[in-house]
Amino acid sequence: MRDFECRDGEMIIGGLSATEIADRYGTPVYVTDEEALRNNFRRIHKAFNKQMSTRIHYACKANSNMAILKILEQEGACIDAVSLGEVLTCLKVGYSPERIMYTGVNVSNEELEGLVEAGVHINLDSFSALRRLASISIDAPISFRVTPGIGSGHHEKVITGAKNSKFGVPIEDIVDAYREAMDLGFKPKGLHAHIGSGGLSVEPFLDLMEILLGVVSDLKDELGLKLEFLDMGGGIGIPYRPNEKPMDIEELATELTTMVKEESEVRTLAVEPGRYIVADSTVLLTRCVDVKRTSRKNFVGVDAGFNTLIRPAFYDSYHHVVIANKFGRACTERFDVVGPICESGDYLARDRVLPEPEEGDLIAVYDTGAYGFVMSSQYNSRPRCREVLVDKGEIALIRDKEDMDDIWRHQTIPARLLG
């Protein structure tokens, strides 16, 4: 969790006061600090590449705003994409096909055809996808996603590597998958696995790498296949709570690269951070519109709900909250921070100690750059909000807010109902 400057009782983001930003662009609004974003990418890139050649594939499902993607393209990032839409967006931003790796699940023929046309690397998830891709093109660069049988993550909904997962080829079938791919005429280049999202411990990643290296050895012994890269998919978490310790990226990079260099002939590693790069670069600013006290609970009602940030309601996730225009003031009472959606589960934070809240106060929700706007919706017919980018006192709009025309745009009332 980042520390922010306090200036005259105001929270400062990228050189600007939160109040100034909210007054100019309205609320709710996502605010991304470009310097923090670049620094996060540079930190993980340096940690790994000083040990061995490592491609940092930004997991763009975390935040696919085109300005964010362009900043990371400038930094030299590659891309982990999970849909054809993400692939096409990254190509539009300026990434070359060679910098994009697609890892999908339950992929349609239409999507496979689009991926082949785009010329990106494809991580295959099943025998079915392999066979259907073979009917389209055997020239596509491929690898397989293996289900390693171990999982890690901050919530059961984000654990991806367990034996009962919908993702990947079961480890007991993975050699057969490569054998069939080679028989069909493909030339597999690498191996991919992902155990889950939000981990802060190094050990699960080391366990995963040990499994991957075992598969590398099996492929060489049984098929004579020498892989060019290992792709240890994402999952690197961030500390969302105060005093929570961050992942030791230097230790992770050192331990993983040492294993790869000592136990295989693979000379290129790929990692897929999303949350680690973008989460703490962004805060959500939302306005207090109501303060309600009851015999059991106190509530701060704000203009952002789970239509704006769904993680607390969906994953029971913790996000730190402060009153940005009373930054640093003593906290006096406990409140739930709740939104305008007509659902009991519409909350952003529960049981938080805050300074005395008033209508008009500005609430800042930390660490919302990952799975924030990208998971927002128009539920309750509420248009989605703005996103802005700040950098050393400069500010730019990177997504305008929607209006009701955006909600109505693709709806049609049949003529027979209008008579």
What does each of the 419 residues of the chain score in pLDDT, given as a tens digit?
899 999 999 999 999 999 999 999 999 999 999 999 999 999 999 999 999 999 999 999 999 999 999 999 999 999 999 999 999 999 999 999 999 999 999 999 999 999 999 999 999 999 999 999 999 999 999 999 998 876 544 434 344 444 566 789 999 999 999 999 999 999 999 999 988 767 788 988 998 899 999 999 999 999 999 999 999 876 899 999 998 999 999 999 999 999 999 999 999 999 999 999 999 999 999 999 999 999 999 999 999 999 999 999 999 999 999 999 999 999 999 999 999 999 999 999 999 999 999 999 999 999 999 999 999 999 999 999 999 999 999 999 999 999 999 999 999 999 999 97
**Residue 235 carries which side chain, given as an amino acid letter?**
G
384 φ/ψ angles, rounded to the nearest 5 degrees: -75, 155
285 contact partners, CB below 8 Å, separation of at least 6? 18, 21, 22, 27, 28, 29, 30, 31, 324, 362, 363, 364, 365
The DSSP code sequence of 57-73 is EEEGGG---HHHHHHHH
232 contact partners, CB below 8 Å, separation of at least 6? 193, 205, 208, 209, 212, 256, 269, 270, 271, 272
Alpha carbons within 13 angstroms on the beta-carbon side of residue 418 total 4
Q: What is the DSSP letter of 176?
A: H
Asked if omega into 246 is within 30° of 0 (cis), the reply is no
* DSSP-assigned beta bridge partners for residue 79: 58, 100
How far is Cα 106 from Cα 126, in angstroms, rounded to an integer? 8
- Of 402, 397, 319, nearest to 364 by C-alpha is 319
Q: What is the DSSP letter of 228?
A: S
How far is Cα 125 from Cα 168, in angstroms, rounded to an integer? 4
How far is Cα 27 from Cα 304, in angstroms, rounded to an integer? 8
Domains of the chain are 5-32+279-408 (2.40.37.10), 34-277 (3.20.20.10)
How far is Cα 390 from Cα 30, in angstroms, rounded to an integer? 11
Active-site residue set: 342
* DSSP-assigned beta bridge partners for residue 229: 190, 268
How far is Cα 366 from Cα 327, in angstroms, rounded to an integer? 13
The residue whose two tokens read 């017919």 is 381
Measure Cα distances from 161 to 91, 94, 148, 233 in Å.
Answer: 29, 32, 6, 10
Question: 3-class SS at 333?
Answer: strand
Question: 3-class SS at 223?
Answer: helix
- Of 325, 233, 240, 329, nearest to 280 by C-alpha is 240
Asked if omega into 357 is within 30° of 0 (cis), the reply is no
CA dihedral 198, 90, 391, 370 (to 10 degrees): -20
Question: 3-class SS at 5?
Answer: strand
